[in-house]
Every structure is written in structure tokens, then in C-alpha cells.
Structure 1
Amino acid sequence: MAFWWKKNPKTPSDYAKLLSEHLTKFETVSTTDSRRKAQDECGRYLSGIKQFILEDLDPVPPPEAIDELYATIYQSDLIYDLLVHLPELDFETRKDVAVVFAICLRRSKDNKFITVDYLVTRPKIIALMLRTTEVALKKPHCNDIFLNVGSMILESIKYEQLCRIILKDQQIWKFFEFARLGCFEISTESLQILTDTFTQHPKLVSTEFFNQPQNIQKFIERLNNLIAHGNYVTKRQSIKLLYNLIMIRPYNQLLNAYINSPENLKLIMILLSDRSRNLQLGSFNIFKVFIANPRKSKPVMDILVKNREKLLLYLENFNGDSKDSTFLDEKEYVMQEIESFPRLVSSNSDPFIESSPQKNISG
């Protein structure tokens, strides 16, 4: 297979140098033609870099040449510059930026991920990556930038050292807001970033994030906001995320904070009677954790006692056509526990009316 660069042979590191030089041209271009030319040149040089690091060439460049290419990428701060000028690159080149970044992250030498180690020394790159998603949403027709950078963030989260940087950046809270946006792809990508950030490295999250009560409270408020006010998909994914998190053993701080709050219980009880079967079942998984808690707070217990009869009446026919033995056993257990609560006389027959949540859950 013939490649365009064979007419003018260059070393792999030359491609990184030339790409870096052409990126700076975006700062001085004044016409549409000159901008398009700069885009074309950047696209060609980045495509060349991709071919080199994929070793999709015949003959394959020697290892020393590839090592020099990576060294030039680091020395020229090329990853940072690509992020800075991402909006000015064309659609295909933007996609190549994400591909090249993912390949670079997997680069291993002497049992070390050298690009990961490099990024740890350049936290500004991760910070810029996180900010770029917000900037992209403020520009028209730039959702692809959000998704490309989102994929770069997801790749970064796989590595504990980089996830630590992301956790410490206040920009991570913005993804709760992005998850409520009307665009399905943006919302889904944002929720995936949140899910991976808080589930990939439980020990890290437990000791460096959920060890701070203010982070736990802020996290619960943001997640409850998605559960209460998101669209159907957002609600369903957020409930699933919440359940997965409180089931992670190192996250006892989060579990205890959530299931001892009466406001959280109110929200889950409302969803328990939602019209959607999937939301009902998702909220039941969380509700059963409230019930199984042997040390319920008094406000939580007060709500459960007040709603004892209504809960039993509702659960009697809840998901009645299910043949899932695990669900049926859990439902029986929950009902037995509720039956053991003190009985109160109430003339109100509306389901869970005492547990109606406030109109606005703080976000």
C-alpha cells in the first residue's frame, strides 16, 4: 500500500514537530482559505502520526524511531496544543485526536505507562480536557467535540493516577448538569463519565473523595436532582448508578449518609409508584436497602411507620407477574420487615402522601 509521505520521507518525530508548528498557524490565519489549508495540513500530519503509532506501515519503523516520536509529543506539549485548537480542526481530525490519545495512553515501556506518567506531571492537560467539554456546549454544532473529548476523559479514568486528578477538579461536578441536557448523546456520555469516575477505582474514591462529608452531601444532592428531574433515561441510569455505588463495600460513608436521610427516602418512595416499571424496580432496589438497615434514623423510621399500611397494600401487588425468585424473596423480606413496624391508625388513603418530596430538590 502506498502512502503519500513516501515521496518526501520524514522521521516519525518530524510529523509531531510539523503538526505542532501548523497548529500555531491557527493563531494568525485571516482568511477562509488559509484556515482550510492549516486544517488540511494538521489533518495529514496527525493521520501520519496515527499510522506510525499503530505500526500500520510497511516496513514498520524501528522502535527507536517510535520512541523518538513519543518523546517529541511530550516535549512539544502536543496533546495540550491539540486540545487548545480542537474547535479549529475538521471533523475527521478531531476524531483522530481522540484515537491517537487513547493509543498513547496504552503506550507501555519497562512496565510503565509512559504517557500516563507524563500526564501526571502535566495536570493542566486533564484540566483543559474537562473544561473543553463545557466550552464545546457553548458553541453551535460542536457536540462532536464534547463526545470526542468525552471519550478521552473515559480513557483517562481507566488509570488511577489520572482518575485522581479528575476527582480533584471541580469541573467534574459540571457533568451532573450536562446529564440533564436535552441531547441524548451528551446526557448519556456525561452519565458514563460520572459512572466510570466513581466506580472504576473504589479505594481511591473512598479514601480521597467520599472521605469528605461535604463531597458526600454535594454528590447526593446532584444525583437526587437527576433522579427527580431528569428525563426517563437519565432517571433510570441515575438510579442504577446510585444502587451500584451504595453496594460497593468501601463506600459505607455514602451508604450511611443516603439511607439515614428522610428526604432521600421520600424521593425513592415516590419513584416506587412511578408509572414506569423499570423506574419502580430500580427504586425498589434502593428502598429495600432502607428497610434492611438495622439502625434506621428516627426520621426515616417515622416515615416508614406512618406509611406502614400503604406500603403493605402497594407492595402486595407490586410487580405481581414476576417469576424472578430473587425478587420475590426480596419482596417477601421487605414486606415482613414492614409488617413488624408499629401500626398507626390513619384515615388518609392516598399512597405515600406523607412522604411526598419537596417540590424542589436542591441541586
Structure 2
Amino acid sequence: MAELCKNIRELKSILYGNSESEPVSEACAQLTQEFFRENTLRLLITCLPKLNLEARKDATQVVANLQRQQVHSRLIASDYLEANLDLMDILIAGYENTDMALHYGAMLRECIRHQTVARYVLESEHMKKFYDYIQLPNFDIAADAAATFKELLTRHKSTVAEFLSKNYDWFFAEYNSKLLESTNYITRRQAIKVSRDANDLTDKLANMGSTELKISLHGVRMFLYSLLGDILLDRSNSAVMTRYVSSRDNLRILMNLLR
């Protein structure tokens, strides 16, 4: 085990360099090719619980770096993960393991930088689990799950727009009931942060010329929350935004939060 931890540290040194030298692009490219060709990512993810804390940290940094390494202008990691999407099942389930949650969570966020991976997670049953993970009693894990949830819903615009259009009913029903109306103090703090862009959304809605939307403007101006705002304010989600703010039930929930 000591030898394995040493090898992982050496991988990290090649990718990040050290106090004496900068990383060499040729060495990084060769390492990237061999890492994915030999299926080392799967081995590293599945064996991570057996490593000590420092080795887990090193492994997490190695995985993160390799997601961004290009070889001949191609992201090899993206091609590999597209053929091994089941690894996301392991990473997401990591939120249920207190010792592994933060390591797997960091790896997961790097992996969903690739659009095919993000689409897989969005379209899977795992999305519904995030509403529970965000309410876990461990603050650090809950916050990490919230960060991953936000990344999934804001990074790949076209994929997110398609997901929200297909899953509007259950997604926002869960968002309202489990996040905005949550009695969990941690969850409420994460969900109720007022968006700096609230007035921008109000102005956009006003320009739409809809009487129903204009009636709702006062509520929208006062009660728009950070992640919800990030989703609704994106131009790709304009149809979803219109539908959400046209609902009296949605505005009632937002107004009740500030009682």
C-alpha cells in the first residue's frame, strides 16, 4: 500500500510539477494516454476507499488534472468516460459514505465538465438523489452536493435546457418542496440566498409584454434565489423561466420564505 501511495504521488508530481520543476507537456501527454488506455481511472476510483487520507487527496488531484489534459487537441478523458459512464454511479453514491463523499464529489465535478457525462447524470435517476444529499446533516457533504448540483444545472446550457423542458414538473416540484420549503436550516441557507441578478430577470420579464407576468413582477423582484436565478436567467431557459414565474404557487412559496 505504501508503494501505491508513492506511485500516486509521483503521478501528481508529473502532472503538477514540484518545487524544483514545472510539468513537462510531453510527459503529461504520455501519462494521460497510458492512464486511460490501461483503465487506471477505474482502478483508482474503486480502490480509493482503501487508500490513506493523503493518497486520496493526491488521487483526487490526479483525476481532476487528467480531465483537462489534451493529447493531439483531444480530451482523451471525455472519450474514455463516454465508454465508462457507470463510473459516475460509483462517484455519486460516494455521497452516502462520509469518508469518501468529498473526494468522490470533487472527482464528479471534474468529470461532468464533459457534456456527455453531464447528460448521463442529468438523465439518470441519480438527479433525484441530490435533493436528499443536499439535506444531509453533515454540512460539508451537503455543501459539496449542492456545488455539484449547481454545476450540473449551469455548465452545459443546451443540455440543461433540454433536461428542464422534459422534466419540468417533477424537477421544480422537488426543488420547491425539498429545497425552498425545507425545514432544514442548512438547506434553507443554501436555497434562499438572494440573487444579485433579480432585477435583471424582472426587466426581462417586463419586456415580454405578458399581463400575468407583469402582475408577478413585484414578487420576482424581491424573491429570487441564487441557484434558481442562475437557471432561470440563462437565455437558453427562457421558456422554463416564463413557465415558472407565471405560477402563483411558485410565487407563494417564495413569498412565504420571507415571512
TM-score under structure 1 length normalisation: 0.57
Identity fraction in percent: 25
The residue that corresponds to 1:123 in the other structure is 85
Residues 95 and 141 of structure 2 are in contact (CA less than 8 Å); yes or no, is this contact kept in structure 1? no
Match of 1:80 in 2: 42
Per-residue CA deviation, residues 201-240 of structure 1 (Å, 9 max, x unaligned), is 2222112x0121xx11121122112111143442243232
Aligned counterpart, 2:179 = 226
Shift of 1:125: 2.1
Check whether the contact 1:180–1:230 (CA below 8 A) recurs between aligned residues.
no
Q: Which has the larger radius of gyration?
A: 1
Task: Check the 8 A contact 2:122/2:152 in 1, yes or no.
Answer: yes
The 5-angstrom pairing of residues 153-232 of structure 1 reads: 153-207=108-162, 209-212=163-166, 215-224=167-176, 225-232=178-185
RMSD: 2.3
Question: Relative to structure 1, is the Cα distance of residues 61 and 181 closer, same or farther in structure 2, using a 3 angstrom cutoff?
Answer: closer
Q: Is the 8 A contact 1:130 1:172 kept in 2?
A: no
Listed one character per residue, the Cα deviations across residues 65-123 of structure 1 (whole Å, up to 9, x for unaligned) are 54443233112211111111211111111111110011111111222222222222221
Name the amino acid aligned to 2:175: L
In the alignment, structure 2 segments of 5+ residues that lack a partner are: 192-224
- Of 10, 31, 54, which aligns to 2:16? 54
Residues 113 and 155 of structure 2 are in contact (CA less than 8 Å); yes or no, is this contact kept in structure 1?
Answer: yes
> What letter is aligned with 1:222?
E
The question of 1:245 aligning with 2:197 is answered no
Residue equivalent to 2:203 = none
Q: 1:184 to 1:128 in 2, by over 3 A?
A: same
Q: CA deviation at 1:61?
A: 8.9
Output one character per residue of 1:241-274: Cα deviation in whole Å (capped at 9) or x when no partner.
112222222213432332233332321221132x
Q: Aligned letter for 1:201? A: H
Q: How many residues align?
A: 225
Amino acid at match of 2:92: L
C-alpha displacement at 1:154, in angstroms? 1.6
Contact 2:9 2:58 (8 Å CA) reproduced: yes
Name the structure, 1 or 2, with higher relative contact order (CA <8 Å, separation 6+): 2
Unaligned regions of 5+ residues in structure 1, if any? 1-37, 274-363
State the match for 2:95 in structure 1.
Answer: 133
Q: Give the deviation of 1:54 after TM superposition.
A: 2.4
| Deviation, structure 1 residue 157 | 2.7
- Distance change (3 Å), C-alpha of 1:272 and 1:65: closer
Cα deviation, residue 174, structure 1:
1.1
- How far 1:60 moved relative to its partner? 7.8
